[in-house]
Chains A and B, each alone.
Chain A
Amino acid sequence: MNNIKLDELLKKVEKPARYIGGELNSVMKDKTQVHVRFAFAFPDVYEVGMSHLGMHIIYYLLNQDKDIWCERVFAPWTDMEDELKYHDVDLFTLESNDSLKEFDFIGFTLQYEMSYTNILNMMSLAGIPVESKHRDDSFPLIVAGGPCAFNPEPLHEFVDIFFIGESEDLLPEVMEIYKQHKNSGEGKYSFFKKISHIEGIYIPSFYDVVYKDDNTIKERVKLYDKAPDIIKKRIVKNLDQAYFPEKIIVPFIETVHDRVVLELFRGCTRGCRFCQAGMIYRPIRERSVETLLKQADLLIDSTGHEEISLSSLSTGDYSKLIELAQALLDKYEERRIGLSLPSLRLDSITFELIKRVQKVRKSGLTFAPEAGTQRMRDVINKNISEEEIIDSVKTAFALGWSNIKLYFMVGLPGETIEDIYGIKDIAYKVKDEFFKRDKNSIKGNLNVSVSVACFVPKPFTPFQWEKQNTVAEFSNKTSILKKELKDKKISYSYHDPKLSVIEGAFALGDRRMSKVLKKAWQMGCTFDGWGDKFKYDVWMKAFEAADVSLGYYTERNKAFTEVLPWDFINCGVNKEFLIKEKELSLSRITTEDCRISCTGCGVNVELVGGPCFENHI
């Protein structure tokens, strides 16, 4: 597309800077001089996509190869979608402004189930048939990865190749084979055959699924005899030496997370039973303080960002957190570069640290008790006691904080009404702690913000066999809390139960969910994650039109013997462990952090080939 035409479109939309590219550290290449063109596609708006560290990693990983040009495309907001259609312009990338059709690969990242309609919409806006079988060799290959790829089946009709697990090593391997393949003149199925044996690659068109009369899965049938039976997730064995970019793109406009992000480690050892990330990102692998300081230095110099955030699951568990935070403060305090710290267990050392952090920039404090009572927290294995929460809050108030965020879930397995009232109790206890103090020491205006999510059972967790609450059950609980949390000092927000059950159906769904997805998109659903854009009634019609029952996926407890849609994926954690954890949860028995002693999830056998922590912590 030429600049004059682009200008015409940009003049009509609300936030034109979402589509202009040209940011600092974005990569321009001569398209006639590259062999492979890859469009990294984020199925949400620019501000959300640009906040995602994985995108920056893959962008630079691919672009360091002179034969590959990786560009970016985000879901155009509805105003831009209208302009594209009106002017008959294909959806284009930010770098070359070329149509997505001109690429070898379009790589979607699957961060959140409710972005799936945007994937279909983005393909369609570039004139690309959404279904894999309708795309001949003239169209780009559609590839996808990210956490939701651990249950890829709801997208099986649309995506050609799934990347399961971490891509730092896997993606370059596949690109090398593609370079050879592209010269061969052979079709896409020949390429699929060349890569289907690679660990972490899943080609859905090589399999068929047979169902029983009761709709559960009977078996998977291979359509290509050499395709693997089990797809094993790919990991980066040594995170400290894994690829990490020296630059990240600096957006012109404000994004959700607009700062340097350091990824301290991957994996988590806590074993919360509701948490998919805690299972699928195992084993734990840390980066060294030395590596992280070097990365911080390069990124600060190349971006001019004013804040560094430390990112991981349960970041406070990083074994050298104090050492790292002190080193970062020593280095950047004077340059007014802020550090955002994770929630810490507050003691004398962290106390000093937090005081230093506060000198540069003040931020809120977040706690995630997840459930309202000790009983419920034992069930989900969230090993934090009310005493610990209150003690931390007390210290935080003494340090001058007045903004506290509390995260909870409702609809957890075995939940009772006491657990709901427990959420209220914690919120008021936090409030009381603030005013219990000596009047002279009370400073600031207290705000306790209570945020409640609706529990969605996820694959590869001990709760994967659980049914989800219905919309009515969820709504009852969220409205009780709405009534109970009427207080000037407490603000309350909750996730839409209707959205959560659709999310549940995709999280737990099988191949038949792809029909629902296509119908919903055809009926006009996009940006479902954006509150006002979500059309529950249309989704219900889509289920009906596809002749698929929502309740089959979300309102049914499954037997341990049932074949689950994602059973063919090996994420390292074995089913026996998940069953054991599920049974322990029924008896409210907690499982300790596996740093203390191995809990036998299987990842050491499946993926590490030895003890998890050797050389990794």
Chain B
Amino acid sequence: MKIIFKYTKLGKLKYISHLDTLRLLQRALRRTGLPAKYSEGFNPHPKLSIAFPLSLGIESIGEMAEVELAIRVERDVFVNKMNDSLPEGLQIISASEFKGNKPLPAQIVSQEYRLNVCFKSNQDLEQALKIADAILACDYNIIRVKEKKNKVTKKEINIVEYLTLMQIEAQSDLTFSIDFKVAITETGSLKIEEIRDFVSTYFQNIDHLTAIRTNLNFVDKSV
């Protein structure tokens, strides 16, 4: 059976890379004793995949992964056994059986981030909303530079094309939270660093800024 589950990546676990997180999940599964289905080939691996990579150093309360088990198991049994086996910062929040065939990464259409912006002095929420609306109304092009094996490729992208503002809230006199939805298209998505730079350019007076991924959204909203 295929299970899609949602999990957290909090605290120091934010420093575990994508591939290491994958191995961590595989080993946790192995320790539960629940038999996984395995890939074919030279080095068989349990069929477990992560929906969408998360940048190193960023926390999340909305990661997704998919696993294929060789047996049927109650959802709660799976979640409890896995959570006993997983470290504190990485815990499964919800899970459900998936009967379709489409691989999980192909089902994800957008990601959501919350930026917590801490200002040096008091900020007006109304003013911040105005700024946010204004900046999302105009194009904001950046050049993304990729370096691979001494080959440098440059690509121009328009940040605002990907971004939808969901909400701005005052968390305290000095701190606002800004929730963004970021589209994942065939041409890719935005990196959290790019969003941070974008926000930092328009808001003056920022003391520091932290980001956390809050969700990954499906085509099919069943999970």
- Residues of A near any B CB (own CB < 8 A): 10-11, 16-17, 20-24, 250, 252-254, 301-306, 335-336, 360-362
- Is B57's CB under 8 angstroms from A11's CB? yes
Q: What are 9 residue pairs bridging A and B, where the CB atoms are less than 8 Å apart in the complex?
A: A16-B57, A22-B13, A23-B87, A252-B13, A254-B19, A304-B27, A305-B27, A306-B30, A362-B42
Extra inter-chain contacts (11) besides given A336-B38, A362-B42, CB under 8 Å: A17-B20, A22-B12, A22-B13, A23-B87, A254-B20, A254-B23, A303-B27, A303-B31, A304-B26, A304-B85, A362-B43
Interface residues of B in 83-136 (CB under 8 A from A): 85, 87-88
- Is B85's CB under 8 angstroms from A252's CB? no
Residues of chain B within 8 A of A304, CB atoms compared: 26-31, 85
Residues of chain A within 8 A of B46, CB atoms compared: 336
- Is B17's CB under 8 angstroms from A253's CB? yes
What's the Cα separation between A361 and B39 when bound, in Å? 12
- Asked whether A16 and B56 contact (CB < 8 A) given A254-B20, A336-B38, A362-B42, the answer is yes
Is B79 an interface residue, CB under 8 A from the partner?
no
Q: Chain A: which residue is nearest B11 at the CB level?
A: A22
What's the Cα separation between A145 and B26 when bound, in Å? 36
Residues of chain B within 8 A of A17, CB atoms compared: 15-17, 20
Residues of chain A within 8 A of B23, CB atoms compared: 254
Interface residues of B in 25-61 (CB under 8 A from A): 26-31, 35, 38, 42-44, 46, 56-57
Residues of chain B within 8 A of A24, CB atoms compared: 87
- Is A252's CB under 8 angstroms from B57's CB? no
What's the Cα separation between A22 and B85 when bound, in Å? 14
- Asked whether A252 and B20 contact (CB < 8 A) given A16-B56, A20-B15, A24-B87, the answer is yes
Is B206 an interface residue, CB under 8 A from the partner?
no
Of B12, B28, B43, which is in contact with the most chain A CB atoms at under 10 Å from its CB?
Answer: B12
Is B24 an interface residue, CB under 8 A from the partner?
yes
Residues of chain B within 8 A of A306, CB atoms compared: 26-27, 30
What's the Cα separation between A550 and B56 when bound, in Å? 46
The number of chain B residues touching the other chain, given as a range, is 20 to 34
The minimal Cβ–Cβ distance linking B90 to chain A, given in whole angstroms, is 10
Residues of chain B within 8 A of A302, CB atoms compared: 31
Q: Chain A: which residue is nearest B85 at the CB level?
A: A304
What's the Cα separation between A410 and B42 when bound, in Å? 35
Residues of chain B within 8 A of A250, CB atoms compared: 27
- Asked whether A253 and B20 contact (CB < 8 A) given A11-B57, A16-B57, A304-B27, the answer is yes
Residues of chain A within 8 A of B30, CB atoms compared: 304-306, 335
What's the Cα separation between A10 and B56 when bound, in Å? 11
- State the 10 A-B residue pairs at the shortest beta-carbon distance, nearest first: A304-B27, A304-B30, A304-B31, A16-B15, A20-B12, A17-B15, A252-B16, A253-B20, A20-B15, A17-B16
What's the Cα separation between A492 and B17 when bound, in Å? 33
Residues of chain A within 8 A of B44, CB atoms compared: 336, 360-361
What's the Cα separation between A22 and B23 when bound, in Å? 16
Q: Chain A: which residue is nearest B31 at the CB level?
A: A304
What mask results when residues 151 to 167 of chain B are scored 1 for a CB within 8 Å of chain A, else 0? 00000000000000000
What's the Cα separation between A413 and B27 when bound, in Å? 48
- Is A252's CB under 8 angstroms from B56's CB? no
The minimal Cβ–Cβ distance linking A403 to chain B, given in whole angstroms, is 11
The minimal Cβ–Cβ distance linking B59 to chain A, given in whole angstroms, is 11
A252 contact from B24, B42, B43, Cβ within 8 A? B24
What's the Cα separation between A494 and B21 when bound, in Å? 35
The minimal Cβ–Cβ distance linking B98 to chain A, given in whole angstroms, is 23
Of A23, A250, A252, A253, which is in contact with the most chain B CB atoms at under 10 Å from its CB?
Answer: A252
The minimal Cβ–Cβ distance linking B44 to chain A, given in whole angstroms, is 6
The minimal Cβ–Cβ distance linking B43 to chain A, given in whole angstroms, is 6
- Is A361's CB under 8 angstroms from B43's CB? yes
Q: Chain A: which residue is nearest B89 at the CB level?
A: A22
- Is A253's CB under 8 angstroms from B16's CB? yes
The minimal Cβ–Cβ distance linking A301 to chain B, given in whole angstroms, is 7
What's the Cα separation between A578 and B24 when bound, in Å? 49
Q: Chain B: which residue is nearest A361 at the CB level?
A: B43
Q: Chain A: which residue is nearest B23 at the CB level?
A: A254
What's the Cα separation between A326 and B76 when bound, in Å? 37
What's the Cα separation between A111 and B184 when bound, in Å? 49
The minimal Cβ–Cβ distance linking A219 to chain B, given in whole angstroms, is 54
What's the Cα separation between A11 and B23 when bound, in Å? 22
What's the Cα separation between A153 and B87 when bound, in Å? 44
Residues of chain B within 8 A of A361, CB atoms compared: 43-44
Residues of chain A within 8 A of B12, CB atoms compared: 20-22
What's the Cα separation between A306 and B39 when bound, in Å? 14
The minimal Cβ–Cβ distance linking A544 to chain B, given in whole angstroms, is 39
Of B26, B30, B57, which is in contact with the most chain A CB atoms at under 10 Å from its CB?
Answer: B30
Residues of chain A within 8 A of B15, CB atoms compared: 10, 16-17, 20
The minimal Cβ–Cβ distance linking A24 to chain B, given in whole angstroms, is 7
The minimal Cβ–Cβ distance linking B139 to chain A, given in whole angstroms, is 31
Q: Chain A: which residue is nearest B44 at the CB level?
A: A336
What's the Cα separation between A16 and B12 when bound, in Å? 9
What's the Cα separation between A21 and B12 when bound, in Å? 9
Q: Chain A: which residue is nearest B88 at the CB level?
A: A22
Residues of chain B within 8 A of A252, CB atoms compared: 13, 16, 20, 24
What's the Cα separation between A22 and B19 when bound, in Å? 18
Q: Chain B: which residue is nearest A19 at the CB level?
A: B15
What's the Cα separation between A362 and B43 when bound, in Å? 7
The minimal Cβ–Cβ distance linking B71 to chain A, given in whole angstroms, is 13
Of A23, A250, A362, which is in contact with the most chain B CB atoms at under 10 Å from its CB?
Answer: A250
Residues of chain B within 8 A of A335, CB atoms compared: 30, 35
What's the Cα separation between A360 and B43 when bound, in Å? 8
What's the Cα separation between A361 and B19 when bound, in Å? 20
Residues of chain B within 8 A of A305, CB atoms compared: 27, 30
Residues of chain B within 8 A of A254, CB atoms compared: 19-20, 23
Residues of chain A within 8 A of B85, CB atoms compared: 304
What's the Cα separation between A11 and B57 when bound, in Å? 7
Residues of chain A within 8 A of B43, CB atoms compared: 361-362
